[in-house]
Structure 1
């Protein structure tokens, strides 16, 4: 006789429901390594103790906070424009100015009308920024047109000749000042010149050759006084880290040969404008800075109005060039307030 054994699970007897599903395969059956069954409902995920920052509701800004945010945005835009103008665009402006000055001065040399004094060929006072010579120092890669005047606006175009001194190559002492970092940084390497090195300056009186005497800084003794018929040229620039000047550096050079006769000079040291001295700033055009700032603020207000009226996309298309131009105008005027040898 055959005996049949029927297995009744306790769960089915107690609940009266359908039998449990078969256990999963694997060495532990329906029990995992932890010994707990997986037939119960899954546990809900544990809530974080702190809500993520992206899900936290932000309180609306107060009018004072909105005003402060707008002011900080304007200041950030101006600082960005200033840095871009001083460190990048200023070199492009310098290259363009040098090209224009070189073309104009070579035409004057060819026509025999290049200035040899503070007066122009037509007996008028030579204006600031007019070309008066070409400085060539091959050992450090310098080939620059020298302009008349040493204010911050003049040295943007190229090395400036100080008005109270004779032109390079003429009997007496001549001073040429150039920038060390911004606007091409034409004099950034003049401190590398060693005694005995030579360079030339081309003026309306011909090409003059100079020999370097030495480099000196504040407190160093000056070369001996000039003798009759001698000519000396002083190249001057800022000393220190780029864009952070800490003093001045001077390179003294003696003319090889006899100096040319000096032209009439109407400006003396006492009459020299304060902005033409070394490491001086130019405050004569602060009014232009005020107008540039007004233009920038008006453009900013118009951009905000356009953003609310016509949307962000059209506003960016129209006002980005305007804001860029306004920022450059402000930055250009601010650079005049910086030292002229920066």
Structure 2
């Protein structure tokens, strides 16, 4: 039986196909490698934002809030009742934690606690009759309550509001499964996460007011689901999707500009925009984490 004769055209086609097939595989592998690299860079960037840059963001908010509240205290216009979300409300000092002149803001959702310790809106203000509750982050955004579990009975807490300065003395502790039991009518409860990883429960510290309370302000509003401990701001998901889409479009635009223009000039023009978009993406992603993280 005779073998088929290979023509030069058939030989060339077979050679081209053999060369083209490894080339396709190489391109697929390169695409996967680039995808993994980009994902790793994005995740590392988020970690850098969460454990580093978020503290700078919180410090900036604290500086602005302190200046605002100091002016209000000097003019006797500081809030003594319900106020707007995120507004500066009090100055907190806990010497045993090394926490000095921390500005407490109104509200305890994830975005409020990006600014510093937050006052749970459905409780009385510190210094008023009843139980005042303050939340603070344990890991990110400056971690003002990072060492909260280390407070011991007898440690002092100083708080200044529009009604004056108040001193509390730590006398109790608890957690999410063992709430604080204290019959004192005028108390302060500090709340944070139980872990420097992803918290699954809370650390509670109770303190009694030393001295007489000041009068109550206006009636307190009800707490929203996002104000509770370990709550995530699910409303940030839609914003995260929009900012991520905007980031993707700008990345594509930067790539096209680099191909048709000077590469260095393209990157220089798009870098500030990309940095701002990455910041917005990371901030909204952080809002999806537990509010006391």
TM-score range, shorter chain: 0.7 to 0.9
Distance, in Å, in 1 between the alignment partners of 2:247 and 2:234 is 20
Q: Name stretches of at least 5 consecutive residues in structure 2 with no aligned partner.
A: 1-20
Shift of the 66–300 alpha-carbon distance from structure 1 to 2, 3 Å rule, reads farther
Distance, in Å, in 2 between the alignment partners of 1:259 and 1:112 is 18
- Residue 139 of structure 1 aligns with which residue? 96
- Residue 258 of structure 1 aligns with which residue? 212
Shift of the 97–337 alpha-carbon distance from structure 1 to 2, 3 Å rule, reads same
For residue 95 of structure 1, the aligned residue among 34, 59, 66 is: 59
- Residue 243 of structure 1 aligns with which residue? 197
What is the DSSP-based 3-state SS (H/G/I as helix, E as strand, rest coil) of the residue aligned with 2:123?
Answer: coil
Aligned positions of 1:31-50 closer than 5 A: none
Q: Name stretches of at least 5 consecutive residues in structure 1 with no aligned partner.
A: 1-57, 119-125
- Residue 38 of structure 1 aligns with which residue? none
- What per-residue deviation string (whole Å, max 9, x for no partner) do you get for residues 229-281 of structure 1? x31000000012x233232101000000122121122413xxx2111100100
- Aligned 8 A contact 2:124 2:220 in 1: no
- Residue 299 of structure 1 aligns with which residue? 250
Distance, in Å, in 1 between the alignment partners of 2:212 and 2:240 is 46
- Aligned 8 A contact 2:172 2:180 in 1: no
User: Is 1:60 paired with 2:23?
Assistant: yes
For residue 210 of structure 1, the aligned residue among 168, 171, 184 is: 168
- What per-residue deviation string (whole Å, max 9, x for no partner) do you get for residues 312-335 of structure 1? 433433333332222111111101
Shift of the 116–82 alpha-carbon distance from structure 1 to 2, 3 Å rule, reads same
Aligned positions of 1:18-33 closer than 5 A: none
- Residue 119 of structure 2 aligns with which residue? 161
Q: Which has the larger radius of gyration?
A: 1
User: Is 1:313 paired with 2:270?
Assistant: no
Shift of the 67–265 alpha-carbon distance from structure 1 to 2, 3 Å rule, reads farther
- Residue 195 of structure 1 aligns with which residue? 153
- Residue 280 of structure 1 aligns with which residue? 231
- Residue 77 of structure 2 aligns with which residue? 113
User: Is 1:222 paired with 2:180?
Assistant: yes
Distance, in Å, in 2 between the alignment partners of 1:273 and 1:69 is 44
What is the DSSP-based 3-state SS (H/G/I as helix, E as strand, rest coil) of the residue aligned with 1:60?
Answer: helix
Q: CA RMSD in A?
A: 2.1
User: Is 1:231 paired with 2:186?
Assistant: yes
- Residue 8 of structure 2 aligns with which residue? none
Which stretch of the first structure deviates more once superposed, 211-220 or 104-113? 211-220
- Residue 324 of structure 1 aligns with which residue? 275
Q: CA deviation at 1:75?
A: 2.5
- Residue 50 of structure 2 aligns with which residue? 86
Distance, in Å, in 2 between the alignment partners of 1:298 and 1:218 is 44
- Residue 336 of structure 1 aligns with which residue? 287
- Aligned 8 A contact 1:81 1:328 in 2: no
Q: Give the length in aligned residue pairs.
A: 272
- Aligned 8 A contact 2:173 2:180 in 1: no
Q: CA deviation at 1:309?
A: 1.9
- Residue 31 of structure 1 aligns with which residue? none
- Aligned 8 A contact 1:173 1:232 in 2: yes
- Residue 16 of structure 2 aligns with which residue? none
What is the DSSP-based 3-state SS (H/G/I as helix, E as strand, rest coil) of the residue aligned with 1:305?
Answer: helix
Q: CA deviation at 1:177?
A: 0.2
More helix by share: 2
- Aligned 8 A contact 2:180 2:204 in 1: no
